Chains A and B, each alone.
Chain A
Amino acid sequence: MPELDLALIWLILLGAAVLAYVLLDGFDLGVGILFPFLGDEPQRTMAMNSVAPVWDGNETWLVLGGGGLFAAFPLAYAVIMPALYAPVVAMLTGLILRGVAFEFRGKTERRRELWDRSFFAGSLLATFCQGIILGALLQGIPMENRAYSGGWWDWLTPFSLVTGIALVAGYCLLGATWLVLKTGGNLQRRARRMARGFAWATLAGIGVFSLWTPFLQEGYMTKWFGWPALLYTAPVPLLVLATGVLLFKSLGRGRDLAPFLSAQGLFVLCSIGLWISFYPYVVPSSVTLWDAAAPDASLGFLLVGAAVLLPLILAYTAGVYWVFRGKLRPGEGYH
């Protein structure tokens, strides 16, 4: 029996954790960015209450991403974090500013508007920084002697700014389709209109991003456009287009659930594309998954826990979403 490649298993698990994070926290960050544009106070409150019971669990996938990287690929963690110092710190500040707003805004009349702004600005900042982080990773990070060897502003390039903007559009699309799913009346109508706009923006963002990526590095070009690789890679952009069509159609027909699922589908396809670009690197062009992997004793020990606990986590997370299923009832609120 061939030995299990624990490093590869962990890369798949971590990739799945990051995807889970984007699919789940993406829509609640998106609701945060759309928040000021959702109409009057009761409507905005309703939008916020639609994510209040689940945001905390959603964000935990980000902690799993960070903690998992530290555990399974400590070298990658040690190179990536200093390289992306400023956007990581800014993202964390954004997450603080928005996370506390859920509780704080209900505790004060006078300063409610301040925490509403904090919810919006924090969500926007966190999302934009996550996009920058993705772009900066993809353009490559240099390493010497097991440490980051680049400068403190290397992450800031036109490409990373574009990925930042594209991710903002993408999370807004997720947020808008979530509101289409969870609300009714005026708020839903408004969300549907927004979803259509952000669907265009997201598809444009994916397009620019996909066409730009191969020009970042020779390696990406051969992976995507070499022969016979093209046979395997071509379906990804085609499926993106098909999902985009599905998204517009379902929005046009006034469906509730299908637009949200189509938007999530776009993100799943993008993550497959990213996997193709990254593999086998964890830190593009300098650290492969096998270079960075912790010893099997570490990977195996945590894998046992993950094998037992992840199914449980998925089960009770699904249970929580089931408890809060259906449209938000007007005035449904607090503990």
Chain B
Amino acid sequence: MEWFTALNVARIQFAFTVSFHIVFPAFTIGLASYLAVLEGLWLATGRNVYRRLFRFWVRIFAVAFGMGVVSGVVMSYQFGTNWSRFSDLTGPVLGPLLGYEVLSAFFLEAGFLGVMLFGMNRVGRGLHFFATLMVALGTLMSAFWILSANSWMQTPAGHLVNAAGQFVPEDWWAVVFNPSFPYRFVHMVLAAYLTTAFIVGGVAAHHLLRDSAQRDSRVMFSMAMWMATLVAPLQVVAGDLHSLNTARHQPMKVAAMEGHFETRRGQPLILFGIPDTETSTVRYAIEIPNGGSILLGHAADAELPGLDRLARDDWPHVPLLFYSFRIMVALGLIMVSIGLWSLVQRLRGRLYDTPSLLRTARLFAPGGLVAMLCGWVVTEVGRQPYTVYGLLRTAESVSPVELPAVAGSFAAFVIVYTAVFGAGVLYSLKLMREDPAAAVERVEGEDREHIGMLRRRTAWGRPEQ
């Protein structure tokens, strides 16, 4: 098995741990902002439905956030264990970016999370809302720095190389705001918001299908569908701009995404097909002639480079890129459609009692998450065979580790992640399935008991009778 090497196992291990990890931050970035909105609306309007929705979702947030934290700690050490050459060479540039992430985001989130989850009986409403805002701000700051670091690996800028072969910063502004960063940041934050919106919408739809009169689920569903209506089209625009940026800086990634093997004028837009890297063709292609050149080159006969510009050894995994990209785009178009459909039903006054819409929303609950993962596969696999695009090869980044060490740690992570995060996902689903009003009723009942014991006011106010 010549394929079974320390390098390849280290790569699979990274793909596995980072894919598991990103699911939780993507969901909690969106959910933290949603919770801040809910609490803000409660404080502003005094309507208890917002308080109840906050209390319903904050318990799910706590589970997801905990899993994000512990799977994230693994990431911060895995650079060193499996990718020590990479760490030595890129540390002077990437290290400070991650350092800023810890200082400006992780501490903020972790510090105020305790107050957000446990503090309502100890602080006033204003301070509690402030804590929620800080947690939401922390998740966005974290996205800012980690996407800056990732984007630098895609489109490195602002650095020099020293005698030891290390990348060293020359212009920090150019490093942080490297050419692909603004596009990737916007695309990812919108993806996180959509991921959360469709999960919230799916959960609301599930409850509305049982009882369409439920007011808490109605509010949830309405808010989620507004996000789908407004943000999904924005995401299409952001994604398009991102791909134009990629075409400029990483044209070979785009060639693989589009299935363009040959450099030529008038590239087609291949809607679907089966890319065959042996023959450098896309079999059974359904294509729009000149569509690729029009989209990416803004002219029907614009010349677009193909993979023939690269030596075969330097190709990324073409089929993986080709399929992931199409799944992501298809899911994105479904999101836009659901957004429009919900808008039509909303205007007709039938948003909450259209079973087909509710069933679709319930089915599509994980849709945003899958689209987000496919997008990451496209951008990360498309960077291969480099870790720092064009400058440092993946094969030269790995630690001098032996296969048994990497394989052993990989096995440990697979077992622990599957068991632990599998259980966590089940608990989250269990919380989501609970009837929102009844769940909050139960939690507040426990509160009442406890407040009686304390003979003390709480910032949640007097629970409704």
A residues apposed to B, CB below 8 Å: 52-54, 56-57, 59-60, 62-64, 66-68, 70-75, 77-82, 85-86, 88-90, 92-93, 95-97, 99-100, 102-104, 107-108, 111, 118, 146-148, 152, 294-295, 297-298, 301-302, 305-306, 309-310, 313, 316-317, 320, 323-324, 329-335
Contacts and interface: CB of A to CB of B under 8 A. Distances in A.
Interface string B222-259: 00000000000000000000000000000000000000
B80 A66 contact: yes
A79 B84 CA distance: 7
Most buried by A among B87, B116, B424, B454: B87
Nearest to B107: A313
Nearest to A75: B88
B69 A99 contact: yes
B115 A97 contact: no
Contacts of A62: 73
Contacts of B77: 66, 81, 88, 92
A152 B450 CA distance: 53
B162 interface: yes
Contacts of B424: 100, 103-104
Nearest to A70: B95
A148 B114 contact: no
A92 B73 contact: yes
B465 interface: no
B70 A305 contact: no
Contact of A89 (B58, B412, B417, B420): B412
Contact of B427 (A60, A78, A107, A320): A107
20 contacts: A59-B69, A60-B110, A64-B99, A64-B102, A70-B79, A70-B95, A77-B91, A82-B399, A85-B81, A89-B409, A92-B73, A93-B413, A96-B71, A107-B430, A148-B84, A295-B162, A297-B172, A298-B92, A298-B95, A335-B118
A323 to B, nearest CB: 5
Most buried by B among A81, A88, A330: A81
A64 B111 CA distance: 14
Interface of B: 55, 58-59, 62-63, 66-67, 69-74, 76-77, 79-81, 84-85, 87-96, 98-104, 106-108, 110-123, 162, 164, 166, 168-170, 172, 399-402, 404-405, 408-409, 412-413, 416-417, 420, 423-424, 427, 430-431, 443, 446, 449-450, 453-454
Given A99-B66, A103-B62, A63 B76 contact: yes
Contacts of A334: 117-118, 443, 446
Given A53-B117, A103-B63, A103-B66, A331 B107 contact: no
A155 B401 CA distance: 15
Contact of B76 (A66, A89, A93): A66
A100 B115 contact: no
Contact of A86 (B101, B118, B405): B405
Contacts, number: 263
A152 B103 CA distance: 33
Contacts of B164: 146
A57 B69 CA distance: 10
A93 B418 CA distance: 12
A71 B454 contact: no
Contacts of A305: 96, 99-100, 103-104
Given A82-B400, A323-B122, A63 B88 contact: no
Main secondary structure of the interface of B (DSSP, over half): helix
Given A104-B427, A297-B168, A93 B416 contact: yes
A306 B123 CA distance: 29
A58 to B, nearest CB: 8
A60 B107 CA distance: 6
Contacts of B92: 71, 74, 294-295, 297-298
Given A70-B80, A72-B99, A323-B115, 17 more contacts: A53-B117, A56-B110, A57-B114, A70-B95, A78-B80, A78-B84, A82-B399, A88-B77, A90-B412, A96-B70, A108-B427, A294-B92, A297-B172, A305-B100, A313-B107, A320-B111, A334-B117
A93 B91 contact: no
A301 B98 CA distance: 12
User: Which 5 pairs between the two chains have the least Cβ-Cβ distance?
Assistant: A74-B91, A81-B80, A71-B95, A53-B114, A78-B88
A152 to B, nearest CB: 5
A97 B420 contact: yes
A305 B95 CA distance: 13
Contact of A107 (B117, B169, B431): B431
B127 to A, nearest CB: 8
A301 B103 CA distance: 13
A78 B91 CA distance: 9
Nearest to B98: A67
A335 B103 contact: no
B120 A335 contact: yes
A324 B91 contact: no
Contact of B99 (A68, A92, A313, A324): A68
Contact of A81 (B84, B108, B121): B84
Contacts of B59: 335
Contacts of A99: 66, 69-70
A155 B157 CA distance: 39
Nearest to B58: A335
A66 B400 CA distance: 20
A323 B222 CA distance: 36
